[in-house]
């Protein structure tokens, strides 16, 4: 009988020690586990930047506009495995680099967002029915870069580079300063709307 009691006492002691070790282990692992969960619920956000003029702006702008332009910029926001942009046909999406523009000239890493894909798509649907309907597109005042800036702020609280968003006003101010009230449409500007509208032809299925 004493032998049984001794065995039970030893078992209780071993069990208590094991439970204590498990508790300490879970306590030590608590912070890393929380961190891992947080990382898994965050999604990278990138800005793809394209020069619609394909280098013509840098070469021709001093002659045509009287000032240097490094590019005529189109942007798309890449998140949740897709590229989103706004053009003459409204809000569109495709696989990254899936438009006729091919590879971007540069990519800006904008960090991470905790907005999941379902919530993001609801947000885009609301934009598509309001300020980003296709009829709201304006080459200078309400374009792809306006859209990218709003979307990036929604996702991360950041803004896209100012040299992109300031470009239309810089062009218009140059035109007004020259004394001409007609907006010029040299080849380096023609693509701003036409290419953005034509890109929808090359998109993968909207359901992708």
Closest by alpha carbon to 95, among 78, 75, 115? 78
Sign of torsion, CA 191 133 92 85?
Answer: positive
Q: Which of 33, 80, 94, 144 is catalytic?
A: 144
Q: How would you label 97-118 residue by residue, b for 16+ Cβ within 10 Å and e otherwise?
A: ebbebeebbeebebebbebeee
Q: Is 74 annotated as catalytic?
A: yes
152 SS3 class: helix
- Which candidate, 43, 82, 50, places its Cα nearest to that of 203? 82
Active-site residue identified among 74, 97, 134, 142? 74
144 assigned to active site = yes
DSSP β-bridge partners for residue 43? 113
- Which residue, among 106, 116, 49, has the nearest Cα to 79 in the 3D structure? 116
Q: Is residue 148 classed exposed, middle or buried when 0-12, 13-18 and 19+ CB atoms within 10 A define those classes?
A: buried
Catalytic residues: 74, 144
């Amino acid at each position: 009988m004493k032998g049984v009691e001794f065995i039970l006492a030893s078992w209780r002691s071993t069990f208590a020690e094991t439970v204590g070790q498990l508790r300490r282990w879970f306590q030590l692992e608590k912070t890393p586990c929380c961190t891992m969960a947080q990382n898994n619920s965050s999604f990278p956000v990138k800005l793809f930047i394209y020069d619609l003029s394909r280098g013509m702006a840098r070469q021709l702008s001093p002659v045509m506009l009287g000032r240097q332009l490094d590019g005529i910029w189109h942007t798309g926001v890449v998140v949740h495995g897709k590229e989103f942009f706004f053009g003459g046909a409204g809000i569109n999406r495709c696989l990254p680099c899936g438009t006729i523009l091919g590879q971007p000239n540069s990519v800006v890493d904008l960090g991470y967002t905790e907005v999941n894909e379902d919530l993001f798509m609801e947000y885009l649907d609301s934009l598509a029915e309001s300020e980003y309907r296709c009829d709201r597109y304006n080459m200078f005042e309400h374009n792809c870069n306006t859209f990218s800036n709003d979307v990036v702020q929604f996702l991360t609280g950041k803004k896209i580079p100012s040299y992109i968003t300031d470009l239309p006003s810089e062009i218009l101010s140059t035109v007004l300063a020259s004394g001409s009230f007609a907006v010029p449409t040299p080849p380096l500007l023609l693509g701003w709307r036409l290419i953005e509208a034509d890109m929808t032809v090359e998109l993968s299925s909207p359901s992708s």
